[in-house]
Structure 1
């Protein structure tokens, strides 16, 4: 099941994407909901970010090198991604004139939390997964070298995700391996596979929940294959996760 969000008239509406149609939903997507009976052709709908006003957490160093194993005692690394103006598929990402260096565009799989988690075990965290989405974790490269990761990842507008949340994908399938690819102006610049995650998504959610309580709608991006590609104003970015979706963005200058 693919859950999307679109602006219909002046109203933000959730819908199921089935057979190239957007079936409007009524109710609470984190509780009980149903189809309203109204649907629109998907080509007539502009999908935004699947959820509005979400809290973002970005995993660092999420991938192992192929053929290597996780060192004993390794700890997950993550930072809050506190950017405003999160966008969706087809959106422009504005690069502020205050930035002096390039930006990295990072194709990632993101996991969406479906119910509250605090001090959760990995098994409890796995049961709280609401769904999965494609994420473009844009990062200001000039802040990476001095280690200012939260700043690097929290520039206004430096997050885009969508085009929907896939709800019927299991963590087991994710760990079996889904291809992650990124292209800039039609050239493949990034490639990886979720079978090489350093930590399972449920392990990441568990680790975070022992330090920061998680709530329905929170989004945890699970890391990007290295090295992250560099992009510039004018570039067209495509992030794709196998069996989840394709996310398109265009980098533009601020103003």
Structure 2
């Protein structure tokens, strides 16, 4: 099942199933092109993995395999939905896309084991970890670099784990041109490993998202760009880019 949150024609927020025939909710079918799609969950936090794929670690100057996931946070102000604008922060010259897929948590959990981790996973979604390199790299400031407004598009749906193949392909297209592509098989840490590691010290709440890291190829965005993140079983998250 692929679950979507959206506003109907009256502005009422609904939850439905995104099917080949449209969005089905409460016996009605809505046209996805006419619906105002919302972020698929309302996370209290987004826990992000840095360097989740070796090819990206290597292009960033790190050739070692980490002993455990390297983590940072994005906050709810970062979240934008499918179809919304990515706002480039003013005065920054290097703002980049990062295609990822996200693990969406189903219920509160803490200190879960790898064996039980999937019991707390509602499903998967697409994530674009927009990164302000000016502040991240020049000042080593990950708050200004990662947690600015509208820096984390998520969506368009949450796909249950059975919908997403073990070898699912993750792709990013910028203005129609493929810029990033990998498969889930190339992740350094598996989904259960990530959930277990994060939950060791951090209580996860329903709707929280663990962003699993990006592969080789992040590059700069400019006003007027259209960026798409596609993940097998989930679909395509599309956003346009504007200057703030």
TM norm structure 2: 0.89
SS in 2 for 1:195: helix
Listed one character per residue, the Cα deviations across residues 157-212 of structure 1 (whole Å, up to 9, x for unaligned) are: 111111111014378x33xx221111211221112221111100111111111111
Query: For residues 76-87 of structure 1, what are the structure 2 equivalents within 5 Å?
Result: 76-84=69-77, 86-87=79-80
SS in 2 for 1:163: strand
Bigger mean CA deviation after superposition, 142-151 or 179-188: 142-151
Provide closer, same or farther for how the CA distance between residues 170 and 53 of structure 1 changes in structure 2, counting only shifts above 3 A.
Answer: closer
Offset of residue 144 of structure 1: 2.5
Provide closer, same or farther for how the CA distance between residues 192 and 150 of structure 1 changes in structure 2, counting only shifts above 3 A.
Answer: farther
Preserved CA contact (<8 Å) 1:83 1:155: no
- 1:95 is aligned, of 69, 88, 95, to 88
Offset of residue 73 of structure 1: 7.0
Moved over 4 A (4+): 70-73
Unaligned runs of 5+ in 2: none
SS in 2 for 1:230: coil
Provide closer, same or farther for how the CA distance between residues 106 and 125 of structure 1 changes in structure 2, counting only shifts above 3 A.
Answer: same
Bigger mean CA deviation after superposition, 139-148 or 104-113: 139-148
Does 2:117 match 1:116? Answer: no
Listed one character per residue, the Cα deviations across residues 18-59 of structure 1 (whole Å, up to 9, x for unaligned) are: 2322122xxxxxxxxxxx223323333231211235421111
Preserved CA contact (<8 Å) 2:81 2:154: yes
- 1:59 is aligned, of 43, 49, 62, to 49
- 2:216 is aligned, of 197, 203, 226, to 226
TM norm structure 1: 0.85
Unaligned runs of 5+ in 1: 25-35
Rounded to whole Å, the distance in 2 between the matches of 1:170 and 1:162 is 15
Who is 1:130 aligned against?
122
- Matched length: 237
Who is 1:40 aligned against?
30
Who is 1:2 aligned against?
2
Rounded to whole Å, the distance in 2 between the matches of 1:228 and 1:250 is 17
